[in-house]
Amino acid sequence: MNTIRFQKMDDTTVEIDKRDINKHLSGEIIEPSSQNYDQTRALWNGMIDILPSLIVKVSNEQDVVNAVNFARTHGILLAIKSGGHNIAGKALVDGGLVIDFSSMTDVEINQAQQTVKVRPGATLADLDKATQRFGLVVPTGINSTTGVAGLTLGGGFGWTTRKFGLTIDSLRSAKLVLASGELLDVNATENSDLFWAIRGGSSNFGVVTEFEFNLHKAGPEVLAGMVVHPFADVKNVLTQYQAAINSSPDELTCWVVIRKAPPLPFLPEQWHGKEVLVLAMCYTGDIPKGQETTAKIRNIGQPIAEAIGPMPFVNWQAAFDPLLTEGARNYWKSHDLAMINDAVISQIENAIQTLPSDECEIFLAHLSGAMTKVAPQDTPWLNRETHFTLNVHTRWRDPKDDELCRQWARQLHANLTPHSMGSIYVNFIPDGDENCMAEAYGANFARLKSIKQQFDPGNLFRINHNIVP
């Protein structure tokens, strides 16, 4: 065939001649008949099976401009793929054009200015590998295969958030291709409305071709690891943990994972597959001081096992990668909680009795410290109070278990709603929950809509957690 059929934004289709495609698009053009098509369209979440009409692997900003202009001119659906980790699969679009950044992974450090420029195809591993050579970090997430771009555009939090803030709090500037095809520099003084919007407003406003971050001193060695408790002691452990972490210095981050125990090498074999509560912690300051600081958390209850010690920060950043490999089926539902009270613990206890698969888990991230020093209106990220983000993470392999696993997550989410703060993390919104954008952004939503109307009134950038102009 000499044409390719595309899905248009007005729900019609259009046939475009391949000569026109080759004339106006640059980069590596991948169509469904290409040998690497399936590999290129694969996403982290194995539930997502989307068939784009064309994928363009871009290698420079002009390739991006050409792709945006092509999509706008023909009125076709456009998606942007960086790391491909978005839980809802927003990196792809059926029948549309995909800009694929997997060839743009450069990380360039300026030691004199303590800054780093990052291309949108880079993963957390790419960024950490470059910055940790100098004992420097950007506060990012916890799975090293995550894309820097998607994480940042949704806000971003991880092991150094208490010390250095959210990922967006370290964003210094960016280069952005608008729906018009114009390439802009955005920062606190140039195009400041757009700079405000991309710090948490997702990919609604344009295609970022470069991020520039401020760097912070941490590593290359940290004190990190896990303490594993029997789930039967969940109430005692969570109660003591909450008191301990809220009074700990910002160098210490400790999160909770509740699930069936994987075969961790330091865990007695009789506990493999049993319900456990894991306290996972990272201390980014002086190691001896960290030993003292973590003691009050390590001394909680009667642990089954402990594995905490000095290690390279890049190793800790990848510690959970084996549990989060690409290809499994995943579905998330999340809440922000001001505290883990008895009612919340009771709902968790009930849910763990009916885990629908061995890989399902309940995850609690404690967010405080530097993150709270930024005013809610200074970025789209709404909840700047100290809180816990609870993510109900269902993960399984067999498609026949789809409804069972999703329903388990939805039920626990519904049961916890009366105890939540009402805010949610955009990067945790699953497919099908796109109607909650006003809830996600609260008082900042009106400003986001206004900026969207100004820079993308036709909603070219709609394959995301969309803010409709």
Q: Are residues 225 and 321 in the same domain?
A: yes
Please report, to the nearest 10 degrees, the dihedral formed by the alpha carbons of residues 351, 159, 108, 36 taken in order: -20
Q: How far apart are CA 96 and CA 334, in angstroms?
A: 30
SS3 300: coil
Maximum distance among all Cα pairs of the chain, rounded to whole angstroms: 69
CB 277 within 8 A of CB 229: yes
Q: How far apart are CA 314 and CA 219, in angstroms?
A: 9
pLDDT at residue 434, rounded to an integer: 80
Token reading at 261:
């125990």
Domain that holds residue 245: 221-428
Closest C-alpha to 206, from 99, 88, 76, 57: 99
Structurally, how many domains does the chain consist of?
3
Q: Are residues 383 and 259 in the same domain?
A: yes
Q: How far apart are CA 86 and CA 427, in angstroms?
A: 7
Q: Are residues 163 and 39 in the same domain?
A: no
Q: Are residues 365 and 250 in the same domain?
A: yes
Residue 40 included in any domain: yes
Residue 86 included in any domain: yes
CB 79 within 8 A of CB 96: yes
- The set of residues, in sequence order, having a beta carbon less than 8 Å from that of 176 and lying 6+ positions away, is 183, 184, 185, 186, 191, 194, 198, 205, 206, 207, 208, 209
Q: Are residues 259 and 236 in the same domain?
A: yes
* pLDDT, tens only, 20-74: 999 999 999 999 999 999 999 999 999 999 999 999 999 999 999 999 999 999 9
Q: How far apart are CA 309 and CA 286, in angstroms?
A: 12
Q: How far apart are CA 62 and CA 68, in angstroms?
A: 10
Mean pLDDT of the chain, nearest integer: 97
Token reading at 253:
């981050």
The position carrying tokens 């406003």 is 205
Token reading at 293:
């600081």
Residue 464 included in any domain: no
Domain boundary among 45, 76, 100: 100
- The set of residues, in sequence order, having a beta carbon less than 8 Å from that of 101 and lying 6+ positions away, is 58, 80, 81, 82, 119, 120, 121, 147, 149
CA–chain centroid gap for 220, Å, is 23
CB 123 within 8 A of CB 148: yes
Q: Are residues 368 and 239 in the same domain?
A: yes
The 10 Å Cβ neighbour count of residue 379 is 22
pLDDT > 90: percent of the chain: 98
CB 79 within 8 A of CB 97: yes
Q: Are residues 202 and 233 in the same domain?
A: no
Mean pLDDT by 10 residues, the chain (469 residues): 94 96 96 96 96 98 98 98 96 98 98 97 98 98 96 98 98 98 98 98 98 97 98 98 96 98 94 98 96 96 97 97 95 97 98 96 98 98 97 97 97 98 94 87 97 98 96
- Which CB contacts under 8 angstroms, 24+ apart, belong to 13-20? 13/95, 14/74, 14/75, 14/76, 16/74
Q: How far apart are CA 95 and CA 97, in angstroms?
A: 7
Closest C-alpha to 388, from 408, 414, 363, 351: 363
Helix (H) or strand (E) holding 455: helix 445-455
Q: Are residues 391 and 259 in the same domain?
A: yes
Tell me, what CATH number does 58's domain have? 3.30.43.10
Domain boundary among 100, 129, 164: 100
pTM attached to this predicted model: 0.97
Q: Are residues 339 and 357 in the same domain?
A: yes
CB 448 within 8 A of CB 441: yes
Closest C-alpha to 137, from 252, 284, 321: 284
Q: Are residues 46 and 14 in the same domain?
A: yes
CA–chain centroid gap for 249, Å, is 25
CB 334 within 8 A of CB 428: yes
